[in-house]
Each structure stands twice: as C-alpha cells, then as structure tokens.
C-alpha cells in the first residue's frame, strides 16, 4: 500500500493573496469544480495537468522559523536570472544568492509571507556547457 500527495498546504495569514502569488509563480489555476472566491475560508490552486494542488489555510500565528520543507522551482521559459527578476516583481524577496561565477547555483527567495523557495537554472541553461576558466 502507498499514499500519494493530494495537496501541499501553506499555513498563512492571507490565503487569497498568497494563493494569487503562487498562481502567478506556477501557472496553477482554481479548481474548476470549486473556484476560489474572496472570503473563502481556504484557497486551493491546482496544476492544469494534474498532480498535487497548493492549499492555503489561514492561521492566527505568523511564521517563526526556517522552512523544514521548500520548493525548488525552474523556469519553463527564460533563464534563472530572468525568473528571479520576475518573481521579485511579483512580491518575492531575496534571502540568499548561491549563484557561482561560471553560472551554476541557485537563488533563495521568500514569498510574501516569508516561505523560502529556491530558483534553479532552467533545463536549457543546464544543457549548455559551462565555460572553463
């Protein structure tokens, strides 16, 4: 017997705003059978091709420590650096920069409620040879 992941749940203070941020990050959408409405007690967004949804549930307490689990995201088009700039424009903040001079590495960002996630190189960038120094 096994289990599958149905949702990944975010405890948050503003479920609507955080769901909107992650909707723009991932391209996920409202569940057509149960679309989100302002004031709903929780928000669910789902990937268009199936898979686990992201569920946002308001809680009274704020985030107090580093995430024990986080997402690693990769751009579907464009580069890691372009994606970092796009996400900063959506309201993310930069936590740490682990990019290396030859182009490897990742950037740690936080969503508007402080949940950390990493932005890695795109598959196209990984396929390119790294220039030798």
Domains and CATH numbers, the chain: 7-62 (3.30.720), 69-133 (3.10.180.10)
CA atoms of 57 and 40, how far apart (whole Å): 10
More reliable by pLDDT, 102 or 91:
91
Residue 118 C-alpha from the chain's centroid: 8
Is 133's pLDDT higher than 60?
no
Is 14's pLDDT higher than 70?
yes
* Least confident window among 20-29, 32-41, 52-61: 32-41
Nearest to 109 by CA among 122, 120, 124: 120
More reliable by pLDDT, 102 or 56:
56
Read off the pLDDT band of 68 (50, 70, 90): confident
For residue 93, the tally of other CB atoms under 10 A from its CB is 13
Helix/strand/coil percentages in the chain, nearest 5: 20, 25, 50
């Amino acid at each position: 017997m096994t289990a599958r992941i149905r949702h990944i749940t975010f405890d948050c203070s503003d479920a609507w705003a955080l769901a909107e941020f992650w909707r723009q990050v991932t391209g996920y959408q409202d569940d057509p059978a149960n679309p989100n409405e302002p004031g709903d007690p929780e928000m669910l967004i789902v990937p268009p091709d199936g898979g686990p949804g992201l569920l946002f549930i308001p809680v009274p307490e704020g985030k107090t420590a580093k995430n024990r689990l986080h997402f690693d995201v990769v751009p579907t088009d464009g580069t890691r650096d372009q994606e970092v700039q796009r996400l900063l424009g959506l309201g993310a903040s930069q936590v740490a920069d682990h990019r290396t001079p030859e182009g490897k590495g990742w950037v740690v960002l936080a969503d508007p409620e402080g949940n950390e996630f990493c932005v890695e190189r795109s598959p196209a960038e990984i396929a390119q040879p790294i220039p030798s120094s």
